[in-house]
Structure 1
Amino acid sequence: MKLKNLNTFIEIAQAGSLSKAAGSLGIAQPALSQLVANLEHQLGATLFHRRTTGMELTPAGEMFLKYAKKISSDLEQARLDVKHASQVPAGEVSVVIAAAIANLLAPELMMRAEALFPDVKITVRRAMSYPAAQLIREGQVDVGIVPGAKSMSNVKAELAYIDEMIFAGGIGTPLDQPGPISFAEACRAPLVLPSQGHLTHRTIDQVAFDRGLHLNLRTRQDSSSLLRKLLACGYAYTIMPRAGMLEGVREGKLFIRQIPDLPLTRQMFVITSTDRPNSAAVRAVRTLLWQQLERLSAEGIVPSLVPREPSPNDYPIPAPVTEDASVRARTI
């Protein structure tokens, strides 16, 4: 099966008709029809439903399209890696970042990558734990930082930091009081939590069940920015990892209280895919990601990082010159 035929199949699938694909490729329509027939014969499956309005992928065709795109992308990345083996990184890198810290990590990560490696194109996705795991399983991610990655397949996971679970709400709301709060009292408060597919919600739900407590769940919300707004306006409270709430605390909109009798933590991992090429571009972005985490840790936005040894996956990038943390805190 030739790469040229795979790319032609991708073009037909995206065009949705042989006539449109023929026009964009400059290939006669009968030749494209024969190519599709040959592919279907080789695969032993029907790839398209032929309709009067065009070509529609069958379930087998949808599956083959994913593989065809991945093969084409991997070969293009291999070409770039070989071409730039002794030069700067180049190519596309897909990054997934836990939704709670995406706003803190992504902008500067992308700006530094563009400044240092203009031939690297980064696509950043922010995702809760379950969607992130799905992206990783489907081979759509090169590198990222997500919770609970130790149990995920298809990745190399390095523990970055361990975050505590806290109670949070809007400044000036009734439960904005000094000192800690008990888990039972937190459960009685009107709560907004992520959907049940989220690792945080599943864990809290299980602890409440084990203790015979009922969560007073007012609503579910998977958008971390909207969740923080619901807290700030006094609509509800939440139980979440500390790092995810600090953006609102620094803005003077949210308070946080410790929950001493909820000894839960969330482990955050830097991950790299074991199914996708560990290219120079991927290694460079991974190193930039670690540097961003080191900066956030130094500023107290995320907990202290777990000590780690130098890795072969590190890319030689000088650490950025950082301002004094107190100066940066006034400007954020």
Structure 2
Amino acid sequence: MDIKQLRALLAVAETGSVTRAAEALHIVQPAVSRQLKLLEEDVGIALFERGRYGMELTESGEILAQHARRALLELDRARSEIQPSNAQISGIVTVGLLPSTSDLLAGPLLDEVKNQHPAVNLRISVGYAGYLRDWLESGEVDAALLYNPKATPTIQVQPLLEESLCVVGPWSAQLSSDRSIALADLAAWPLILPSAGHGIRNLLEQACPGTGMKLNVVAETNSMNVQKNLVVRGHGYTILPSIAVTEDVARKQLGASPLSDQELQRTIVLALPNTRRIPMAVRAVASLLEREMKLAVERGDWPTARWISD
């Protein structure tokens, strides 16, 4: 098993065709076919099968492809870090952003990375906190924004800001910023929430025993956009930070009222891995991300957020 074989595996998996994979790799088609044959002989099992849409990975192929992506990413990172000590900061840095923060932070962060560290290749992944934590621990992201986690043997965290949550409903529900709602008042309300194990859902589940209520969850989705669309269509209400619905409220598509429960605040932290070396490029990008977040709070672009980092 070698790098050429793994690149051929991923190219065919992504294109669904040996011909298109050869074009993407800038080699001839028989060379790709040979690499796949050698790889299948090495692992002793078929990695592809012919499907409706071309070459499709088998279950074993999916497993190998998942590990191959991580291995090649680590090699690319290593290659970019091997440089003279007086060279500019460079490398591949993948940052994980929460869906509610991505619109606010992605553009300014990319601008600053380009301006200050043009040799850094920035990649941005967006996902709920549960996914981001898994990706951080597995090495798929180098740094991530999470909420409310404590430091563990696998990750180190730096609390950055606290943010209140709000009840979000259709515009016709007449929710407003000057009308607060207690969690206990939501007992009979149909709620659309992320699945168990994700940040805001965990906050709500932990607060419920104190109110004696059980959440009336009518739909679960791990997409913030789907959450909001279902609310707009009248399927129920959801719980989100105000930053996630600022534009929707301005367009009169959604309404939002703050939750009055003090414990229902999320603390956003910058998380880095404890189990591997943190390259200079990652530290540089993490510093820029922290700076952009602080500036957003100071400008008033992050409603209900309070900066708590030193």
Partner residue of 1:303 out of 294, 302, 306: 306
The Cα shift of 1:271 comes to 1.7
| Alignment partner, residue 127 of structure 2 | 127
1:69 pairs with 2:69: yes
The Cα shift of 1:145 comes to 0.8
The residue correspondences of 1:99-138 to structure 2 (distance < 5 A) are: 99-138=99-138
Structure 2 gaps, min length 5:
none
The residue correspondences of 1:126-275 to structure 2 (distance < 5 A) are: 126-150=126-150, 154-169=154-169, 173-176=173-176, 178=178, 180-208=180-208, 211-217=211-217, 219-220=219-220, 222-225=222-225, 227=227, 236-245=236-245, 254-260=255-261, 263-274=263-274
Q: 1:80 to 1:254 in 2, by over 3 A?
A: same
SS in 1 for 2:164: strand
The Cα shift of 1:108 comes to 0.9
Determine the C-alpha separation between the residues in 1 that align with 2:16 and 2:259: 55
- 1:90-119 deviation digits (Å, cap 9, x = unpaired): 333222111122211111111222232333
The Cα shift of 1:141 comes to 0.9
- 1:264-309 deviation digits (Å, cap 9, x = unpaired): 33232212245666333322211111111211232352221232xx
The Cα shift of 1:78 comes to 1.7
Contact preservation (8 Å) 2:142, 2:272: yes
| Alignment partner, residue 48 of structure 1 | 47
SS in 1 for 2:115: helix
More displaced 10-residue stretch of structure 1: 79-88 or 227-236: 227-236
SS in 2 for 1:106: helix
Residue identity (%): 24
Q: 1:233 to 1:40 in 2, by over 3 A?
A: closer
Q: 1:231 to 1:152 in 2, by over 3 A?
A: farther
Contact preservation (8 Å) 1:94, 1:122: yes
Contact preservation (8 Å) 2:192, 2:238: yes
| Alignment partner, residue 317 of structure 1 | none
Determine the C-alpha separation between the residues in 1 that align with 2:218 and 2:22: 54
So what's the TM-score if we normalise by structure 1?
Answer: 0.71
SS in 2 for 1:68: helix
Structure 1 gaps, min length 5:
308-332
The Cα shift of 1:167 comes to 3.6
| Alignment partner, residue 282 of structure 1 | 282
Query: Alpha carbon RMSD of aligned pairs, Å?
Result: 4.0
So what's the TM-score if we normalise by structure 2?
Answer: 0.75
